[in-house]
Amino acid sequence: METDPAAAELLGRNTTELLAFFATLPAPEIEEMDGEYTARLLAQPGVFASVTGRATVSNPFAPWLCKAFRPVDGRTGRGYNTFRQFGRVRQRYAMHTLIAPSRYDGRPAYTLVYRAYGSMCGAINMVDEVRRAAPGVYLGIGTWGFTARQRRIPLPFLLTGPVGAYRGDIGTARRVFTPGPRELPGRKEAVQ
């Protein structure tokens, strides 16, 4: 299978270059992100991030296949990740999606908030930001952590597609959850 030139270019960049490029890209619209998108880690910012990233998404017993999304309305959406486990595709790690200011530059990003649903990704405060690099090619910057400093470490990934249809919603929503500064630190709160 031939790699898209825009995707191939992202594969050759280091984390610093990817983050600088991310700052130049537009956010896709909620309606644009509809279906399953092949997912792949890009260059990580250090040894720890590389090892933990590869252990969790390149695990031979359950490799990461894609992220998937569907619009709910003009402002929000839902999504999940898929993994191959024992020959079957499994959906995991539900997410709430919205357009929100990036934690890195304050500009709009398609934002994936895992804490809206009960899962391991929600428990570690995972949030991903996605912007369009080219038609069908998206640069994502993932974050997770228990401190603000940990949640600023950029963990780049690539999405291409859509390559398939959304399989259906999963996950149990947290009761009365509203994303706050932990999830959306780029959002400027109104001063009273």
Rounded to whole angstroms, how far apart are CA atoms 155 and 19? 9
**pLDDT for the residue numbered 188:** 63
Rounded to whole angstroms, how far apart are CA atoms 85 and 71? 27
Mention every residue, 6+ apart, whose C-beta is less than 8 A from residue 30: 71, 73, 74, 75, 76, 77, 97, 98, 99, 110
| Domain 5-163, CATH homologous superfamily name and number | GXWXG domain (2.40.128.580)
Phi then psi for 32, rounded to 5 degrees? -65, -35
Domain parsing of the chain, residue ranges: 5-163
Binned at pLDDT 50, 70 and 90, residue 61 comes out as confident
- Does the pTM surpass 0.75? The reply is yes
DSSP E strand boundaries for 20-164: 35-41, 64-71, 76-85, 88-101, 108-113, 127-134, 137-143, 155-164
Binned at pLDDT 50, 70 and 90, residue 167 comes out as very high
- In tens, the pLDDT along 9-37 reads 999 999 999 999 999 999 999 999 999 99
Q: How far is the CA of 101 from the CAs of 47, 98, 132, 162, in angstroms?
A: 29, 10, 15, 24
Binned at pLDDT 50, 70 and 90, residue 2 comes out as low
Mention every residue, 6+ apart, whose C-beta is less than 8 A from residue 154: 15, 18, 19, 22, 45, 104, 141, 142, 143
